[in-house]
Amino acid sequence: GMGGIGKTTLVMEIGAKASEVDQFDDVAIAEFTQEHDLVKIQGKIAKDLGLELTANDDRAAKLRERISGGTKRVLVILDNVWTQLNLWEV
């Protein structure tokens, strides 16, 4: 959508509310940039989920395992995605 109409503000509010009303155990919010720095994005998601990633980790696999492999309900919000994205890489 058009810039400046409040999408990011809305997303942040949704993330906060989802945590407050116990709909999700963990909420991670990552903002993309034009460069799509996957290491930085993975690091932000991991931090929000309380997960430590090292340079030698298979970062995407570790995040996938944390998000879908447990009993916790996890909401991951990706903001500012302008191009097609392979979520298996994130």
Please report the sign of the dihedral spanned by the C-alpha atoms of residue 7, residue 12, residue 15, residue 20.
negative
Query: What does pTM read for this prediction?
Result: 0.78
- Type of residue numbered 74: V
Q: Alpha-carbon distance 74 to 76, whole Å?
A: 6
pLDDT of residue 85: 72
pLDDT of residue 2: 66
Instruction: Name residues of the chain where pLDDT drops below 50.
Output: none
pLDDT of residue 54: 84
pLDDT of residue 75: 92
